[in-house]
């Protein structure tokens, strides 16, 4: 007996739907088995992929996944300056569970959201939050192009669509495939399972990178500040207050950190007559906000501020010849983890090597004026004691001002 066309059609449709369902199920199983961005843990997830998960291109989602992955005692937040320099695996942490949740090009809108997201999901004992100088005095942010909007860190995102994408999405499949390939070849990705950007960032020709990226970035920044500068903005100040209040309300100790830049970077602001070369407005805003938050939450731990951005010898490491690496610095705006270790040792009260015993200060109202004065004197000392490096910096400024082309050297991250 012949099968009627409608039955044949129904059988075809059914077979197509079953095939599609099997493909989608396979995608979902593979993606959750690998869990490449840490956001889809399941009973069958293979934790052997932990060392090989490639979160670099989707840092916001990956860092949110790390928050979900387990309980943490200590977390770092901020931009690439913290992302690269602060090591959560130092033996000095002992039994504390420490994670690095800082992200490349993160500014206060993303940092505040990440702190809030973390405290919503985890009970932290300590939050160490980097605030880059200059962030508070501009409303500029890159959060619409960094992957933040598509990540769980965005409180206004479509959570249902997002979670389905993490399970069944093609981009997740690509990340899963890359994680598997990393595991097979033994290639470790940029990030460790503790969120530290530890690998594949070193570039030998630091001299060229500072010349082509750091100094031009400082010059563009100060040019914008010359055009318009009104001190700390209300929006960014409100986000700083949010970080302080969120930590106070959760009983989390908060350390605000001003990360360092190399002397040739901050020297540009002094040499070009920036409206606020010592970044007094930023430092004063941090001090006032910390005081106000403590007054509003007297029973909570008082936030402290550590300031490492000055002309200290560690920040004035000589610029080496071409194709020679620096010991403390990756480039003009990113310290190596060796310098990050000294910062963390100063913050935590651990043993500090002799060269770092006077590195950084705990900033407060009582020493704010002294700090500003020391920045002015620090630039004069830098000019006098590191004459060759200062003259090299001025030469690069003059080249930029006279229109000599300074193309990008492919710096490891945006200096901001």
Helix axis angle for 170-185 and 5-34, nearest 10°, is: 50
- Residue 253 inside a domain? The answer is yes
Q: How confident is the model over 241-255, as a mean pLDDT?
A: 98
Across the chain, mean pLDDT equals 92
What's the pLDDT score for residue 254? 98
Indicate the pTM of the whole model.
0.93
Q: Which helix (H) or strand (E) holds 379?
A: helix 368-385
User: Which is it for strands 361-363 and 304-307: parallel, antiparallel or unpaired?
Assistant: antiparallel
- Residue 31 inside a domain? The answer is no
Q: For 356-377, what is each residue's pLDDT tens digit?
A: 999 999 999 999 999 999 999 9
* Structural domain boundaries enclosing 243: 71-172+196-401
What's the pLDDT score for residue 18? 79
Q: How far is CA 228 from CA 42, 266, 267, 274, 359, in A?
A: 51, 19, 20, 11, 33
Task: Give how many domains the chain has, as a whole number.
Answer: 1
- pLDDT higher than threshold 60 for residue 3: no
- Residue 299 inside a domain? The answer is yes
Q: How confident is the model over 21-46, as a mean pLDDT?
A: 91
Q: Over the Cα atoms of the chain, what is R_g?
A: 24
Q: How confident is the model over 2-30, as a mean pLDDT?
A: 75
- Residue 177 inside a domain? The answer is no
Q: How many CA atoms lie within 13 A of 215 on its CB side?
A: 29
- pLDDT higher than threshold 60 for residue 411: no
Task: Decide if 93 contacts 349 (C-beta within 8 A).
Answer: no
| Burial group, residue 375, by CB count within 10 angstroms (0-12, 13-18, 19+) | buried
Task: Decide if 115 contacts 77 (C-beta within 8 A).
Answer: yes
Higher-pLDDT residue of 28, 73: 73
What's the pLDDT score for residue 178? 97
- Residue 9 inside a domain? The answer is no
- Residue 61 inside a domain? The answer is no
Q: How confident is the model over 223-235, as a mean pLDDT?
A: 94
Nearest CA among 173, 169, 114, 108 for reference residue 141: 108
- Residue 190 inside a domain? The answer is no
Q: How many CA atoms lie within 13 A of 386 on its CB side?
A: 23
Residue 4 pLDDT level (bands cut at 50, 70, 90): low
Q: How confident is the model over 80-109, as a mean pLDDT?
A: 98
Residue 309 pLDDT level (bands cut at 50, 70, 90): very high
What's the pLDDT score for residue 25? 83
CATH number of the domain within which 152 lies = 3.40.50.1110
Task: Decide if 310 contacts 263 (C-beta within 8 A).
Answer: no
What's the pLDDT score for residue 381? 98
| Span of 123-137, 140-154, 390-404 with lowest mean pLDDT | 390-404
Distance CA 72, CA 17 (A): 43
Terminal CA-to-CA distance of the chain, rounded, Å? 75
Distance CA 105, CA 90 (A): 24
- pLDDT higher than threshold 90 for residue 13: no
The label of the residue with tokens 């407005």 reads 281
Q: How many CA atoms lie within 13 A of 357 on its CB side?
A: 4
What's the pLDDT score for residue 412? 42
Residue 402 pLDDT level (bands cut at 50, 70, 90): low
- Residue 365 inside a domain? The answer is yes
What's the pLDDT score for residue 157? 84
- pLDDT higher than threshold 50 for residue 413: no
Q: How confident is the model over 379-402, as a mean pLDDT?
A: 93
């Amino acid at each position: 007996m012949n099968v009627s066309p409608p039955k044949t059609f129904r059988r075809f449709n059914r077979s197509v739907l079953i095939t599609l369902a099997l493909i989608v199920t396979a995608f979902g199983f593979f993606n959750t088995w690998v869990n490449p961005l840490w956001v889809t843990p399941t009973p069958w997830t293979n934790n052997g992929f932990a060392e090989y998960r490639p979160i670099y291109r989707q840092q916001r989602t990956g860092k949110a996944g790390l928050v979900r992955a387990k309980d943490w005692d200590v977390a770092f937040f901020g931009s690439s300056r913290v992302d690269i320099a602060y090591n959560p695996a130092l033996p000095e942490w002992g039994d504390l569970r420490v994670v690095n949740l800082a992200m490349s090009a993160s500014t206060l809108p993303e940092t505040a959201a990440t702190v809030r997201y973390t405290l919503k999901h985890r009970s932290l004992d300590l939050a160490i939050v980097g605030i880059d100088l200059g962030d508070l005095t501009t409303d500029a942010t890159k959060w619409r192009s960094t992957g933040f909007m598509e990540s769980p860190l965005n409180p206004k995102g479509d959570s249902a669509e997002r979670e389905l994408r993490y399970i069944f999405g093609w981009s997740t499949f690509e990340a899963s495939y890359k994680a598997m390939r990393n595991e097979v070849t033994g290639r470790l990705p940029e990030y460790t399972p503790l969120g530290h950007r530890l690998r594949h960032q070193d570039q030998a020709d630091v001299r060229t990178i500072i010349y082509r990226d750091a100094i031009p970035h400082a010059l563009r920044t100060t040019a914008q500040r010359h055009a318009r500068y009104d001190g700390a903005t209300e929006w960014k100040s409100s986000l700083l207050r949010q970080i302080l209040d969120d930590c106070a309300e959760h009983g989390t100790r908060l350390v605000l950190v001003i990360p360092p830049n190399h002397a040739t970077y901050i020297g540009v602001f002094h040499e070009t007559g920036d409206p606020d070369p010592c970044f007094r407005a930023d430092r004063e805003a941090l001090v006032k906000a910390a005081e106000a938050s403590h007054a509003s939450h007297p029973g909570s731990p008082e936030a402290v501020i550590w300031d490492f951005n000055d002309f200290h010898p560690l920040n004035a490491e000589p610029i080496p010849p071409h194709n020679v690496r620096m010991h403390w610095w990756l480039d003009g705006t990113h310290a190596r983890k060796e310098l990050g270790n000294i910062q963390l040792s100063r913050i935590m009260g651990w043993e500090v090597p002799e060269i770092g015993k006077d590195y950084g200060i705990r900033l407060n109202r009582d020493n704010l004026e002294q700090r500003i004065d020391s920045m002015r004197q620090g630039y004069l000392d830098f000019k006098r004691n590191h004459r060759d490096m200062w003259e090299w910096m001025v030469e690069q400024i003059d080249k930029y001002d006279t229109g000599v082309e300074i193309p990008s050297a492919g710096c490891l991250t945006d200096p901001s």
